[in-house]
Homo-oligomer: A and B are copies of this chain.
Amino acid sequence: MTSAAHPPSILTIAGSDPSGGAGIQADLKTFTSLSAYGLSVITALTSQNTVAVKGVHTVPPEFVAQQIQDVISDIPPAALKTGMLASAEIILSITTALQSLYSSPTSSLALPPLVIDPVTISTSGHTLLPESAVAALINHLIPLGTVITPNIWETELLLRRGAAVESGKEERKVTNVTEMMAAAKELAQLGCKGVLVKGGHLPLKLEAVREGLANAGGKGGEEVEIVWPKDDGVSILKLASGLTEEEHLDLNYVVDVLYEAEKGRFTAIVGKVIETSSTHGTGCTLSAAMAVFLGRGLNLRDATVEATRYVHNAIATSYPLGAGNGPLNHLHTITYRPLPTPTPADSLPFCTHIINEVKKTGLWEAYIHHPFVVELGKGTLDRRRFEHYIKQDWHYLRHYARAHSLAAFKTTDFDQIVGFSEISLHIARESQMHYCETFGISKEDLLATPETPSTSAYALYILDVGQRGDLLDLLLAVASCCLGYGEVGMKLAEGYKKGEVKMEGNLYKKWIEDYSGPEYLVAVTNSIKNLEKRLAAAPPSAQRLQELVKIWEECTRLEIGFWNGAMDLELEDLPEAAMKA
């Protein structure tokens, strides 16, 4: 569903429902919610809402044909569906247009999967295809179809009209699963590959479903597969869902019966009835979803099962809207991405987001332009403050190295174990020792210096996040210091160009060069890209993103606290030794 390949384009040829629950509107919402690109040729406008169809404005047949021609010639769809077709003339204009695009001597294209929803009457009872046009549907369109998807009423209507094909048949009623299966097989004689008889208007108790399926199974030697609801057979799930076995038996079920003519195979898809009035556009939605799944390359059986589940959940998650039969919730399959998709113009959306979030609190500026850094840049920072910082940083880096070893522990991937261990080694071997040398701080001085609370608070927070969270939590916590120093380094380098930062004769020149130098900035860039890669591969939920922002904010606060430790130092309390070095 979320593959990197472009989504399939799916075309609906149907009417318009301005209230958005049925017609091309339902189709487009379904296509979008199933990550497909929607195309839509309009056959008729209705003026309707959830209560009634108040008017119909039919589109000239030649304009329907022109839309089909213009759309398909430019963007060939991977699958098609038809819905409300309004008149025999429109049906003929559609079949003619499709045949000229797909079956003419000049065309090398094969007709893609075509789902025909034989819409005749709206849920609210309005006639959307006159009975006089049903013959055109049967004679011209249905033979092109991959599958037709009649509900019970439409099945009865088609059986009646299909009687013209085989003479001598009486009006037929479909009242149980056995009759649905017989009807599906009979309608396949109209020439389409598959028939899905939808049982939505025929709620049944579990016993009746089982009995009907048992009666019908194997009658003509056909294979019968029964697809039960997903929790079927798992007792503990039924128990945890809060219904007793007796209550389960007392539920109403619906059965949709698919017959595939070539395979001689029935598939009966069983679902629990959902008590709701939100059923406006159910048929449109099902056929649209089937077209998407067929367009993705699923076979008819799998596409039907998936589409049925999509519709089932769209009904189950619906909410009241309008005064009549409200719409389904087409959007139940999608979640809003709290983090934008990376693009060339915005390739680092995660780091951009967390920095902007922390900017709102004022903490980011307080970190990047901390008095410690500002004075360091001007060369006016008291040497004793820097020495305090270097000693505490030595403690911090011990934990920081451990944090990377913890990252190596938390992955199961050899390359990552190597990567994190190398960082840990690098920190443990080299870090800050050259400053100690310059400032005359010995190993003994370092060992004799106690770790201050602000150092412990920051370093141990990183380790705690790393132990209680996952690898991403840990990597984010270690990134705060890494990114922040990169930003500070770059800002100091920019300040130097503007004359705000002093380099010549600055006691801290080496520090500025280190953190604005190419080696360090490449490491920071890698850290940023690594985070972005992880977030792009597994987009976070809103709640997860908020947790990550909180970690970033806390690290920023602790980083400020760490520098405060140096700036809050009472200089008169410092031992003389530090001054002598």
Contacts and interface: CB of A to CB of B under 8 A. Distances in A.
Interface of A: 1-2, 6-7, 9, 16, 18-20, 25, 28-29, 32-35, 37-42, 45, 47-51, 54-55, 57, 59-60, 63, 66-67, 69-71, 73-75, 229-231, 234-237, 239-242, 271-272, 274, 309, 312-313, 316-317, 319, 321-324, 327, 330-338, 340-341, 343-348, 351-353, 355-356, 409-412, 467-471, 473, 483, 486-487, 490-491, 494, 521, 524-525, 528-529, 537-544
Contact of A321 (B37, B54, B324, B491): B37
B242 A347 contact: yes
A316 B345 contact: yes
Given A18-B42, A235-B487, A236-B490, 13 more contacts: A25-B38, A47-B69, A48-B70, A49-B71, A57-B59, A229-B345, A240-B525, A241-B348, A309-B340, A312-B345, A317-B343, A409-B467, A410-B468
Q: Which 4 A-B pairs have the closest CB atoms?
A: A316-B343, A49-B74, A235-B490, A470-B470
A275 to B, nearest CB: 9
A39 B19 contact: yes
A55 B66 contact: yes
B50 A75 contact: yes
Given A49-B75, A50-B75, A343-B317, A29 B38 contact: yes
Contacts of A317: 341, 343
A473 B521 CA distance: 34
B338 A1 contact: yes
A45 B66 CA distance: 11
Contact of A39 (B18, B60, B332): B18
Contacts of A42: 16, 18, 42, 45
A16 B346 CA distance: 32
B20 A352 contact: no
Number of copies of chain A assembled together: 2
A98 to B, nearest CB: 15
22 contacts: A6-B321, A9-B321, A18-B71, A20-B75, A28-B28, A28-B32, A32-B32, A32-B330, A35-B336, A47-B63, A47-B70, A54-B70, A55-B63, A57-B59, A74-B323, A75-B321, A236-B483, A313-B343, A316-B346, A335-B337, A409-B467, A468-B470
Given A42-B42, A63-B55, A231 B25 contact: no
Contacts of A324: 74
Contacts of A525: 236, 239-240
Given A20-B40, A57-B59, A341 B321 contact: no
A57 B9 CA distance: 24
Given A321-B9, A336-B35, A352 B237 contact: yes
Contacts of A316: 343-346
Residue among A63, A74, A327, A469 with the highest chain B CB neighbour number at 10 A: A74
Interface of A is mostly: mixed
Residue among A66, A240, A494, A524 with the highest chain B CB neighbour number at 10 A: A240
Residue among A317, A332, A521 with the highest chain B CB neighbour number at 10 A: A317
Residue among A231, A327, A521 with the highest chain B CB neighbour number at 10 A: A231
Contacts of A340: 309, 313, 332-333
Given A48-B70, A71-B49, A241-B347, A538 B544 contact: yes
Given A235-B491, A346-B230, A351-B237, A19 B57 contact: no
A381 to B, nearest CB: 21
Contacts of A274: 343-345
Contacts of A242: 347
A371 to B, nearest CB: 20
Contact of A236 (B35, B319, B321, B524): B524
A236 B346 contact: no
A74 B17 CA distance: 13
A6 B327 CA distance: 13
Contacts of A272: 345
Nearest to A365: B233
Contact of A57 (B63, B71, B75): B63
A19 B70 contact: yes
A491 B238 CA distance: 12
Contact of A336 (B241, B333, B468): B333
A1 B66 contact: no
Contacts of A18: 39-42, 67, 70-71
A373 to B, nearest CB: 14
Contacts of A48: 70
A67 B23 CA distance: 14
A42 B15 CA distance: 11
A237 B348 contact: yes
A16 B40 contact: yes
B231 A348 contact: yes
A533 to B, nearest CB: 12
Contacts of A55: 63, 66
A443 to B, nearest CB: 33
